[in-house]
Amino acid sequence: GDSVTQMEGPVTLSEEAFLTINCTYTATGYPSLFWYVQYPGEGLQLLLKATKADDKGSNKGFEATYRKETTSFHLEKGSVQVSDSAVYFCALSRSNDYKLSFGAGTTVTVRA
């Protein structure tokens, strides 16, 4: 079945540091890939998405590129802020499926 594997946390960084969270997936066909973010005490919200190979999703300074050859969708941000402290989830879905499969989540803490 479909699965998503993302790097384990927690990750602690200083402000303005570079952030990368690795995500790889296993799925048949051509899934859509997503990054969701969960701020403390809130539900998940979409951060960015990519629907086909080589697509790059970007939002709020975060980027991720859909790499079919390595089945990866790594999340990056060049300069993090304290407000980026959250749990980040990689996810995938297939167009003919009703299931959104999530990775285990990576907790990121950014210190001033």
Partner 1 sequence: DTAVSQTPKYLVTQMGNDKSIKCEQNLGHDTMYWYKQDSKKFLKIMFSYNNKELIINETVPNRFSPKSPDKAHLNLHINSLELGDSAVYFCASSQRGLAFFGQGTRLTVV
Of 70, 71, 93, 90, residue with least CA distance to 20: 90
Taking the C-alpha atoms of residue 65 and residue 52, their distance in angstroms, rounded to an integer, is: 10
Question: According to DSSP H, which parts of 55-101 are helical?
Answer: none
Q: Are 35 and 43 in contact (CB under 8 A)?
A: no
> What tokens appear for 29 in the block?
């066909």
Write down the least CB distance from residue 16 to partner 1, Å. 25
Among 16-24, 39-47, 55-63, 76-84, which window interacts with partner 1 (CB under 8 A)? 39-47
The angle subtended at Cα 41 by Cα 19 and Cα 86, nearest 5°, is 0
Please identify which residue in 3, 18, 26, 42 interacts with partner 1, judged by CB under 8 A.
42
Please identify which residue in 14, 30, 79, 104 interacts with partner 1, judged by CB under 8 A.
104
Which x/- pattern, by CB under 8 A, does the window 5-34 give for partner 1? ---------------------------x-x
Per CB under 8 A, residues contacting partner 1 are 32, 34, 36, 38, 42-46, 49, 87, 89, 91, 93-95, 98-102, 104-105, 107
